[in-house]
A = this chain, B = another copy of it.
Amino acid sequence: MSFQKKIINDPVYGFISIPNALAFEIIEHPFFQRLRNIKQLGLSNYVYPGANHTRFHHALGSMHLMMEAIKELRSKEILISKEEEEAAIAAILLHDVGHGPFSHCLEGVLLQNIHHEEVSLQMMQSLNTELNNRLTLAIEIFKGKYPRKFLHQLVSSQLDVDRLDYLTRDSFFSGVAEGVISYDRIIKMLNVKNEELVVEEKGIYSIEKFLTSRRLMYWQVYLHKTVISAEQLLVKIFQRARELNAVSQLSFKTPLLEFFLSEKNKTEQWIDVFAQLNDAEVLTNVNYWQHEKDACIATLSRMLVNRNLYKIHLSNEKISTVEIENKRKGFLNKNIVAPELSHYFVFEDVISNYAYRLDVGQINILMKNGEVVDVLKHLNHLNIPIFTEAIIKHYICYTV
């Protein structure tokens, strides 16, 4: 296949160029094209109607920022070979290829006990065989095995191009101005010291803004209470579907989904089946489940399709047993389902969030004197806790 330089309109960055033939081949591959139908933000569009952007678009955007980062580093005389460039681009393009329908929303539900990064890795390995091992270096970088650590850090760290793109893109499409970051300024401040990625000291305010924006995006978008409510509803629908399917009580299901609702997904062949799944498949099933005989799944499905979501109450403290019991009694009075199914309609759980984690690799600042320090040492010591302590919120979902 001969490669033609191609540019793609992106409302976020203006234009994105596909930089090389390998990137072009990856993008053309069905594994990657599938991402066109995987929403980046799950069901956030129930709150932010503009947030219909896809993993496909996010992967292209991350590729664009990776190219910008590489150009910037080269202009600072960091040598990056053509092979390394190609591999870093391939790694970032494929870093999320393992996401299932609605991204994080159904993670652990369709494919149980496997994280999307692990799926991405397996899909990359499958693709590597198909591409005659042209992804070997990309996989090394993705796994953090390549000695030049900064390449892995650009793909996956607390300040990677993945985060730079998703904060920028999610903020753009949701319309939440709180999430705007200076991705271009941050990239201009990147450098490499001892093969590790560092940020030049004068970029410190942009990093603080980045950490703050990330925290605010968690509360305003990713963990918005109505988003949680919608996504929990979808999770519960699938739990019920699995139960019904096990006892042959689920009258409608498409073949691909049946695969994941049954026990089959323990077997070897799941990658190929998974690689055909997308949001549409899930939505279509839920649309039909409105008409199932089982009142539980029918009610839940109608709630989702018509956006008649759970009420939700967030709290800093654990939800009291009294409150839970009251909500449950209220629900049971309506006689919609048998009492033992009430946990599908009234339940509590907990969410938490860190802006910056102390237990994974740090963001390094390159001081003017050449020293490298963790960003937390450099930021005024007073503001460490808001970034490093987990913020935990309890919630109860219920119907009235």
* Chain A residues at the B interface, C-beta cutoff of 8 Å: 5, 7-12, 14-15, 28, 30, 33, 36-37, 45-50, 52-54, 56-57, 60, 75, 172-178, 180-182, 184-185, 188, 205-206, 208-209, 212, 216, 219-220, 254-256, 276, 278-281, 283-284, 287-288, 305-308, 380, 382-383, 385-386, 389, 391
Assuming the A-B contacts A216-B208, A385-B383, are A254 and B288 also in contact, with contact meaning beta carbons closer than 8 angstroms in the complex?
yes
Q: Which of B5, B37, B220 has a CB less than 8 Å from the CB of A205?
A: B220
Give the CA-CA distance A46 to B280 in the complex, in Å.
Answer: 16
Which residues of B are found within 8 Å of A208, using beta-carbon distances? 216
- B175 x A10 contact (CB < 8 A): yes
Q: Which of B7, B57, B216, B254 has a CB less than 8 Å from the CB of A284?
A: B254
Give the CA-CA distance A318 to B181 in the complex, in Å.
Answer: 33
Q: Which of B15, B33, B49, B306 has a CB less than 8 Å from the CB of A185?
A: B15
- B33 x A306 contact (CB < 8 A): yes
Which residues of B are found within 8 Å of A172, using beta-carbon distances? 11
Which residues of B are found within 8 Å of A180, using beta-carbon distances? 177, 180
- A382 x B385 contact (CB < 8 A): yes
Give the CA-CA distance A389 to B380 in the complex, in Å.
Answer: 11
Which residues of B are found within 8 Å of A15, using beta-carbon distances? 184-185, 188
Which residues of B are found within 8 Å of A391, using beta-carbon distances? 380
Which residues of B are found within 8 Å of A28, using beta-carbon distances? 306-308
Q: Which of B9, B176, B281 has a CB less than 8 Å from the CB of A287?
A: B281
Give the CA-CA distance A14 to B12 in the complex, in Å.
Answer: 13
Give the CA-CA distance A30 to B172 in the complex, in Å.
Answer: 28
Main SS at interface, chain A: helix
Assuming the A-B contacts A15-B188, A50-B9, A181-B177, are A383 and B380 also in contact, with contact meaning beta carbons closer than 8 angstroms in the complex?
no
Q: How far is the CB of A70 from chain B (nearest CB, A)?
A: 14
Assuming the A-B contacts A30-B306, A49-B60, A53-B50, are A11 and B175 also in contact, with contact meaning beta carbons closer than 8 angstroms in the complex?
yes
- The closest CB in chain B to the CB of A176 belongs to B9
- A7 x B174 contact (CB < 8 A): no
Sample 26 A-B pairs with CB under 8 A, ordered by A number: A5-B75, A9-B175, A10-B49, A11-B174, A11-B175, A14-B175, A28-B306, A49-B56, A49-B60, A50-B57, A177-B180, A177-B182, A178-B206, A205-B216, A205-B219, A208-B216, A212-B212, A254-B284, A256-B287, A278-B287, A380-B386, A380-B391, A382-B389, A383-B383, A383-B385, A383-B386
Which residues of B are found within 8 Å of A48, using beta-carbon distances? 9
Give the CA-CA distance A382 to B391 in the complex, in Å.
Answer: 11
Give the CA-CA distance A307 to B219 in the complex, in Å.
Answer: 37
Which residues of B are found within 8 Å of A306, using beta-carbon distances? 28, 30, 33
Which residues of B are found within 8 Å of A176, using beta-carbon distances? 9, 182
